[in-house]
Structure 1
Amino acid sequence: MDMPLWAWLGFNALVLVLLALDLGVLNKKERAMGAREALKLSAFYIVIALLFNVGIWYSLGEVKALEFLTGYLIEKSLSLDNIFVIALIFGSLQVPPQYQHRVLFWGILGALVMRAIMIFAGTALIMELHWLIYVFGGFLIITGAKMLFASDKEPDPANHPILRFCRKHFRVTEGYEGKAFFVRRNGLLYLTPLFLALILVEVTDLVFAVDSIPAIFAITTDPFIVYTSNVFAILGLRALYFALASIIHRFEYLKYGLALVLVLVGTKMVMVDFWKMPTPLALGLTVGLIGGSILLSLWKTRGQKAESA
């Protein structure tokens, strides 16, 4: 369904307002965001997304509304794994808590641009080359299977090839320079470790986007639904990080739930020309897999204490 230009402009205007509110009003002071404040902000973004979903229901109908909700839930679920990696990045690079929100804000801004490009390119390709649906589906099934059987060894962000490249080819300061991404010394431009953290956050999101965007194409190829559900899920990522960073280590079984969701949506794509899985069924299975894996994880680790973000 082709949406009118005003719908696209209106949605992007809303996004700009939310970003301006986030940066200019909610985070004027350089301080670490508390878990309670983060939960409130995360709930705010979720409520805005659900209100938008109600608007889709009234203007575009039940089917589009369910597609948006399912896509949003899948993106939100996959972002939990993203949060775990971001926590590793901040811990490994020892990013001061009061500057983490700055890295995440600009990281999310870059992620929105990257994902918009990937979504519109992917939609155009699928419209022209229908067989790509099978390629995306197979890719998701393989990715999900790998996630199921992957080792639990945590990656070391400090030794990431991107960081080695930056340190080899650019001037990098020894320590943090406040909130600055760049500084000048004796007329020479230096990168700061805060900028290296930003680069890693962007690379991390790009890697996760390769999984998550094809997953939404399993639900719908409507570019407006894919784009808006993706954007709303990403907008709340920063607040969700601060809300969950201290307990994300307890989600032991989350990766299995996410892996099964990827296999599910991949199978849905591969079978699209033979059997179309009803969107309500896909939504219910996604909720069950993600919710079940989180509840089981929290139950098993109920005696563990929260970690400092």
Structure 2
Amino acid sequence: MSVAGPHDGSYAWSLEWSGVDPSAAVWWLTILGIVGLLLFDYVFHVRRAHVPSLREASVWSALYVGVALLFGVGVWWFGGSGPGAEYFAGYVTEKALSVDNLFVFLVIMSSFKVPRAEQQKVLLIGITLSLVARTAFILVGAALINLFAWVFYLFGLILLVTAGNLLKPESEESHAPDNVLIRFARRHLRTTDVYNGDRMSTVVHGRRVLTPMPLVMIAIGGTDIMFALDSIPAIFGLTQNVYLVFTATAFSLLGLRQLYFLIDGLLDRLIYLAFGLAFILGFIGVKLILHALHENNVPFINNGRPVPVIEISTGLSLVVIIVVLLVTVLASLFSPKGVAQNAISAARRHALEYLVVERDPHVREEIFQRLLAEEAQLRKLPEKYVRRISDDEQLVALLRRAHDEHDRTREA
């Protein structure tokens, strides 16, 4: 894919996009800015364990999205419309994939019974590890593209396979945090199931042992590395400019912690998001294969000569991505099935948090009040969903246990 030509040169520090990376100064300023935003989060947001309010999560999510959009405007202004469109297409795609990944993070948090107040630190460290890993993947991907033109065929096939997998129904058990690193840590390291705030270790019976915190971080970091195997080929299908790939990926990860707390209550409701992402990844996969054919030098395809095919422009890609995401998100939010699924999942999650995760009395009471509101919403659902809930013996028993526990706590 060719990128837009350089700007007219009226700015001394113009980014010069015609196959040439921005200057070293621009690279370093960008890296320092991204590192600065991460450090700001570490120092001012997660140093003190707390549950972000809706207002706090909204303000900071909007701030990070605003920074990413302003950066894209700068790319468009100094680099031209071509790189600008490539950046925005990459950013929107990566952000959408990140939102889908949040559901898996939620499953991991529930599996490890991470207290709500401690989840911020887990997420931020996981995001940091992910940013480092994805940077390495970006460099490897760029090197492969420069050396082998057939890599575009491989990336395209990866995205088509991933799109197909997204259409398969998945249960929460399929995302259970049981990878090789977790099994190794549990087998060879001294660990406990008891948390000590957000500390990595604690003392049990006079012995220093690891709390579940480092295991959760390993699970989230390892899972996100697996996500990178899909997202990095996707963004290389939209632009091969390493600077744009890096910045779009980095800005999509920044603010993901705040977004987690902002849309936590909506994650289960986005029931059609996977279909939208499958379409987008399939679309980019086709785009990559068409580009590979256009640049073909593989001997057994057209005798090693380029194949005259139509290439999909970045502008069209950006429009398709935005329209598909809008349609799938709106369809999810206004779908009766989405409302029902969200209410059922939220009630189950908050009942578990009340019973086995949280120990702070004030936090537990807040969770129980949310549970009451969700149960009221469940009773207002259409009859077929109410019957489905009544037939779910495990859910009914879980809700009953939560009420019994709350009654005992009040009597005590």
Common fold: TM-score over 0.5: yes
Quick one: distance in 2 between partners of 1:180 and 1:62? Answer: 47
- Structure 2 residues not aligned, in runs of 5+: 1-19, 295-308, 354-412
**Percentage of identical aligned residues:** 35
Q: Does 1:279 align with 2:298?
A: no
SS at match of 2:209: strand
Cα separation, partners in 2 of 1:98 and 1:5, compared to 1, 3 Å: same
Give the deviation of 1:17 after TM superposition.
1.6
Give the deviation of 1:190 after TM superposition.
2.6
SS at match of 2:283: helix
Matches within 5 A, 1:29-44: 29-44=48-63
SS at match of 2:213: helix
Q: Does 1:79 align with 2:98?
A: yes
Quick one: distance in 2 between partners of 1:187 and 1:107? Answer: 30
- The letter for the 1-side match of 2:332 is S
Quick one: distance in 1 between partners of 2:190 and 2:283? Answer: 46
Q: Is the 8 A contact 1:93 1:158 kept in 2?
A: no
Question: Among 151, 160, 167, which residue is 2:169 paired with?
Answer: 151
Give the deviation of 1:219 after TM superposition.
0.6
2:270 — aligned with what? 251
- The letter for the 1-side match of 2:170 is D
For normalisation by structure 2, the TM-score amounts to 0.71
SS at match of 2:21: coil
SS at match of 1:17: helix
SS at match of 1:246: helix
Give the deviation of 1:187 after TM superposition.
8.6
SS at match of 1:16: helix
- The letter for the 1-side match of 2:178 is H
Quick one: distance in 1 between partners of 2:177 and 2:95? Answer: 28
Q: Does 1:58 align with 2:77?
A: yes
Question: Among 252, 262, 284, which residue is 1:265 paired with?
Answer: 284
Question: Among 127, 132, 140, which residue is 1:121 paired with?
Answer: 140
Cα separation, partners in 2 of 1:153 and 1:268, compared to 1, 3 Å: same
SS at match of 2:194: coil
Q: Which moved more, 1:294-303 or 1:76-85?
A: 294-303
Question: Among 270, 280, 297, which residue is 2:332 paired with?
Answer: 297
Give the deviation of 1:188 after TM superposition.
6.0
Q: Is the 8 A contact 2:107 2:176 kept in 1?
A: no
Aligned residues: 308
- The letter for the 1-side match of 2:169 is S
Question: Among 127, 130, 137, which residue is 1:111 paired with?
Answer: 130
For normalisation by structure 1, the TM-score amounts to 0.94
Q: Is the 8 A contact 1:268 1:276 kept in 2?
A: yes
Q: Is the 8 A contact 1:103 1:194 kept in 2?
A: yes
Deviations 1:77-115 (A, max 9, x none): 001111000011111111011110000111111111101
Give the deviation of 1:158 after TM superposition.
5.1
Matches within 5 A, 1:235-250: 235-250=254-269
Deviations 1:265-291 (A, max 9, x none): 000000011322111110111111122
Q: Is the 8 A contact 2:191 2:212 kept in 1?
A: yes
Q: Is the 8 A contact 1:254 1:293 kept in 2?
A: yes
Q: Is the 8 A contact 2:111 2:177 kept in 1?
A: no
- Structure 1 residues not aligned, in runs of 5+: none
Question: Among 252, 258, 282, which residue is 1:233 paired with?
Answer: 252
- The letter for the 1-side match of 2:172 is E
- The letter for the 2-side match of 1:151 is P
